[in-house]
Amino acid sequence: MRKVAVVGVGTSKFGNRTDVSLPELAWESVKEALDDARLGTEDIEAFVVGNVGGWSSEMLPAVVVGEYCGLVPKSGVRVEAACATGSAAVRTAYHMVASGESDIVMVIGVEKMNESPTPTVVEFIGRAGNYFWEFENFGLTFPGYYALYATAYMHRYGATEEDLCKVAVKNHYYGSLNPKAQFQKAITVEECLNSRYVAWPLKLYDSSPITDGSSAVILASEEAAKKITDTPVWIKAIGYANGTANLSKRLDFIGLEAAQIAAQMAYKKAGIDPLEPVKYLDVAEVHDCFTIAEIMAYEDLGFAKRGEGYKLVREGQTYIGGLIPVNVDGGLKAKGHPIGATGVSMIAELTRQLRQQVEKSRQAPIRKGMALAHNIGGTGHYAFVTILSLS
């Protein structure tokens, strides 16, 4: 297997993008990634599109995006893994390069979720689990799924709604510093606590928004990367696992087993001590579709002991200057969650962080040269953990 580097990244403005079509939205990040790598579309040998769709008018998004972006008749494919679609697309492209099939591959994550009304989007996301058993019989929505985890976690460990809101406050703070974020306004704990309930104990400000957006990354073999850039960011490891479709078959609701397995797999490949991963990492992007998801991620990844993740955010340890900065782009909570683009945008953000190219106000100190992306599909139905490195 060949070494694979990220050599170009791009991300569109996230939000309610009624000003562009799906392929136009994709082109915003594709153009930025090409410019970043100083490449043309003729240099791209293949492309992978991450898109969930259903709420969007384009039923064959890879074909439409590829044509609009000038990438046909190259090899192109669409990938889907619920909310982890972006990471699945990156993994697909990674193996295309690592195997020797291609030297330069582009990953494009894109979603226009606001083309459908909110109830339709809520229903489609609610289908992420076992549709006929959970959605049809019990009416579980996506907030409802994570509310089960929040209530179980709070009951067992004593975390409070205020602790959950502190995750939202942190991520909105960093979102306010990110010009690409959907929400660019800081909030207070009181504002979060006073927001309406979506599924108790989760409130509006505990929840990620419905988002349109795109992100693109260009992957290259070691030989090609050295010709393209002086600052390659290497994909050190990718771990991935699946959870049960039916939540009733899970052992508990205080963490995601698939995320734990994916993390252990990635740590082993990257040579990271799973008992002390924060000693190796400068910054992390974790899947915070709801505030409880970020707290569980701290524990699933080994940043904190089981039942102590909420203490990290309570003590400010996941801000810049703390134990490990997490979601300093605003995360899904404030940057936005265009499902097919989310995992790709994590890689784009961490690449810029490692290169020290983000806004100074949210630049994490880079001393160890490693970063981690944690991307979840559904409620642990899919889990991907990707390690990036400067060496």
List the catalytic residues. 83, 337
**How many whole angstroms separate alpha carbon 304 and alpha carbon 314?**
13
Whether the CB-CB separation of 89 and 79 falls below 8 Å is answered with yes
Cβ neighbour number for residue 360 with a 10 Å cutoff: 7
Phi and psi for 72 in degrees, rounded to 5? Answer: -95, 150
The residues with which 238 forms a beta bridge, in sequence order, are 386
**How many whole angstroms separate alpha carbon 230 and alpha carbon 243?**
39
Q: Which residues neighbour 240 within 8 Å (Cβ) at sequence distance 6 or greater?
A: 87, 88, 91, 262, 265, 382, 383, 384, 385
| DSSP code, position 146 | H
**How many whole angstroms separate alpha carbon 323 and alpha carbon 328?**
13
Q: From its phi and psi, is residue 39 left (phi > 0), alpha (psi between -120 and 50) or beta?
A: beta
Q: 191: which 2 tokens?
A: 């504002």
**How many whole angstroms separate alpha carbon 339 and alpha carbon 333?**
12
Q: 117: which 2 tokens?
A: 């009304």
Q: Is the peptide bond before 23 cis (omega within 30 degrees of 0)?
A: no
Whether the CB-CB separation of 6 and 232 falls below 8 Å is answered with yes
CA neighbor of 289 nearest in space, from 348, 345, 243, 333: 333
Beta strands in the chain (DSSP E): 4-11, 46-50, 75-79, 104-112, 197-199, 202-203, 212-221, 233-242, 283-285, 370-377, 382-389
Q: 360: which 2 tokens?
A: 């100074």
Q: What angle do the packed helices 291-300 and 257-270 form, to 10 degrees?
A: 50
